[in-house]
Amino acid sequence: MKTKNIQIRTNNKEEFIEITQKVQNIIDEAKIEEGICLVYCPHTTAGITINEGADPSVVTDVLNAFNKIVPNDLDYKHLEGNSPSHIRSILTGNNVSIIVEEGKLVLGTWQSIFFCEYDGPRDRSVLVKLISKS
């Protein structure tokens, strides 16, 4: 299957955008019943993660913790001034792989897929590749 592109416009310097349904829609369109779904972020100041999607305070807590772990006011050398965004991206990672069974993403009860913006607002892309056994 050809790689699909999800376009995202972020609105804030830092935010998590839930993309689970957009990824599921790609699976539905491809009519994949069994396989693996790879969700990849091709940006160095953003990431992809799976975490709780039911309570928005979890995202707030994660962003607050990242700001304490990777403060904005260290003596960074990177000339663009977005070193904290690069480091937060490394902590999050740039991809997740999710099992697909019976045409659905296999996620835990509270799990959602998030695009993680650390250097917005920007226009971003998320790439989705489905690997099917058929």
Is the pLDDT at 1 greater than 80? The verdict is: no
Per-residue model confidence as pLDDT tens digits over 48-101:
999 999 999 999 999 999 999 999 999 999 988 899 999 999 999 999 999 999
Amino acid at residue number 71: P
One CATH from 2.60.120.460, 1.10.1060.10, 1.10.260.40, 3.40.50.620 for 4-132:
2.60.120.460
Domain ranges for the chain: 4-132
Angstrom CA distances, 120 to 4, 50, 84, 131, stand at 23, 20, 12, 31
Q: In this structure, which long-range contacts are made by residues 64-70, counting pairs with CB atoms below 8 Å and at least 24 apart in sequence?
A: 66/14, 66/91, 66/118, 67/14
Per-residue model confidence as pLDDT tens digits over 101-124:
999 999 999 999 999 999 999 999
DSSP secondary structure letter of residue 4: E
Q: How many CB atoms lie within 10 A of CB 85?
A: 24
Supply the pLDDT for residue 133. 75
Q: How many CB atoms lie within 10 A of CB 60?
A: 11
